Amino acid sequence: MVAASLDMLEESLIKKISILSKLEEENDKQKEILSSMDEEREPEFDACLDEKAKLIDELTLLDDGFQSLFDRVKEEVGANKDLYKDQIKRMQKLIEEITGKSASIEASEHRNKRLAEQFFSAARQKMNAGRQASAAAFNYYQTMNNFKDIPPQFLDKQN
C-alpha cells in the first residue's frame, strides 16, 4: 500500500516536471511575442496566456493530489525510512529538479512582466498621443466653425 502510494507520488512529481517544462516553453514563446509585440500578435499573446493558465490549473490539481496522498502515507514513511529510502531519494531528486525549474520560471515571468509593462506603456503613450491629436483637430474644427459666424466688419480710416 505505502510503496504503491510512493510510486504514485513519484509519478505525480514526474508529471509536474513535464508541466513545468511546458510552462517554460510557453514563457519563452511569450517572451518572443512580447519582444516584437504589435496589434497583429495580440491573439497569439492571448492564446499563450490561456495556455499558461491551463497549465497552472493542472499544476494546482497535481499539487493538491500530491499533498493529500502524502498526508496519508507521511507517518508510515517517516516510521520506516529505511524501507523506502530508494524511493525517497528518487523523489528528492525530482523535487530538486522541480525547484530549479520553478526558480527558472519565476525569473522568466519577471522578465516577461517587464516586457509587458514596456509594451503597455508604449501603447498607452500612443493612445494618449492619438487622443491629443484628435482633441486638437476637434478644437481647430470648432474654432473654424465659429469664425464663419462673424459679421462683416467696416474699418474706419480716419487718422
The DSSP symbol for 148 reads T
Of 50, 81, 69, 95, nearest to 4 by C-alpha is 69
pLDDT of the residue at 153? 65
> pTM to 2 decimals?
0.75
Domain boundaries, the chain: 2-113
Residue matched to cell numbers 510512493: 6
Q: What is the mean pLDDT of residues 46-63?
A: 93
Q: What is the pLDDT of residues 98-150, one digit of tens each?
A: 999 999 999 999 999 998 888 888 888 888 888 888 888 888 777 777 766 56
pLDDT of the residue at 152? 61
3-state secondary structure of 154: coil
In whole angstroms, what is the distance from residue 138 CA to residue 135 CA? 5
pLDDT of the residue at 3? 84
- Which residues, other chains included, contact 94 with Cβ-Cβ below 8 Å and sequence gap of 6+? 10, 13, 14, 17
Distances (CA, A) of 49 to 42, 124, 132, 143, 152: 11, 21, 32, 47, 64
H or E segment to which residue 60 belongs: helix 42-79
- Which residues, other chains included, contact 101 with Cβ-Cβ below 8 Å and sequence gap of 6+? 17, 20, 21, 24
In whole angstroms, what is the distance from residue 91 CA to residue 97 CA? 10
Q: What is the mean pLDDT of residues 26-33?
A: 92
Instruction: Tell me which of 44-48, 86-90, 107-111, 132-136 is least confident.
Output: 132-136
